[in-house]
């Protein structure tokens, strides 16, 4: 029996929040995990809409590539494509904050300390969890302490179906250690696994959840 073709909406890479024309707030995300997820979904014959920030890793073949810069750019594109999505995986490392104002010119030294005022960015995966309808939603939780506990809290707070907890060592690395957590608890714990193999497990579990939750 042929597997039904589904549409994956995957966010990937970092976002950039500009302070002035040449400086910005960002993080060390390479986009490797997002690319691995997109390739895993595509290999199984599914459609992939790939919304990516300015990552250094090459974009995955076979996916519809949507490039963005800021968290608000990514939010707009996710809202645009969400109605088409059967499975949403939020693998992007989205900036939680952005500068309250952006200077039109390069900020120069003035001889005194500079105070940066920040405001919160939209909660993209939280929005998706609230508006997911018949989609399975997978989030990521990169934590520096109590990763499993904090990830479980995030899963229920944002109404996700699955969450992947990992740590900062996974950034820009070919391998990672992670826990895959569902609404009923731990699904799998993996140590020093390649991102490609972990992506395959995440895609497999998200497809299983979709089949169980939305079987025709």
Catalytic residues, by residue number, are 27
Rounded distance between C-alpha atoms, residue 89 and residue 103, angstroms = 34
DSSP state of 169: G
> Token digits for 96?
């939680």
| Cα Rg, the chain, nearest whole Å | 18
**Helical segments of 97-194, H only:** 124-130, 147-157
Residue 73 phi/psi, 5° resolution? -60, -45
Rounded distance between C-alpha atoms, residue 211 and residue 150, angstroms = 27
Rounded distance between C-alpha atoms, residue 42 and residue 196, angstroms = 13
Which residues, in sequence order, are CB contacts of 65 under 8 Å at separation 6+?
A: 50, 52, 59
Q: If residue 208 lies in a helix (H) or strand (E), which one and from where to where?
A: helix 195-213
Reference 39, options 160, 178, 203; nearest CA is 203
């Amino acid at each position: 029996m042929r597997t039904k073709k589904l549409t994956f909406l995957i966010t990937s890479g970092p976002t950039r929040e500009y302070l002035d024309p040449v400086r910005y707030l960002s993080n060390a995300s390479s986009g490797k995990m997002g690319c691995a997820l997109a390739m895993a979904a595509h290999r199984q014959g599914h459609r992939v809409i790939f919304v990516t920030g300015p990552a250094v890793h090459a974009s995955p073949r076979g996916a519809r590539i949507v490039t963005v810069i800021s968290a608000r750019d990514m939010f707009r594109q996710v809202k645009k494509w969400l109605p088409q999505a059967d499975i949403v995986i939020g693998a992007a490392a989205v900036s939680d904050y952005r500068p309250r104002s952006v200077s039109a010119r390069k900020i120069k030294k003035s001889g005194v300390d500079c105070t940066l005022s920040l405001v919160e960015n939209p909660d993209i995966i939280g929005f998706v969890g609230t508006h997911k309808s018949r989609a399975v939603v997978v989030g990521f939780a990169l934590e520096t302490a109590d990763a499993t506990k904090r990830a479980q809290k995030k899963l229920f707070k944002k109404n996700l179906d699955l969450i992947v907890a990992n740590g900062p060592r996974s950034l820009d690395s070919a391998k990672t250690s992670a826990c895959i957590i569902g609404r009923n608890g731990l699904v799998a714990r993996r140590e020093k696994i390649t991102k490609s193999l972990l992506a395959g497990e995440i895609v497999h579990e998200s497809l299983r959840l979709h089949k169980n939750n939305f079987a025709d």
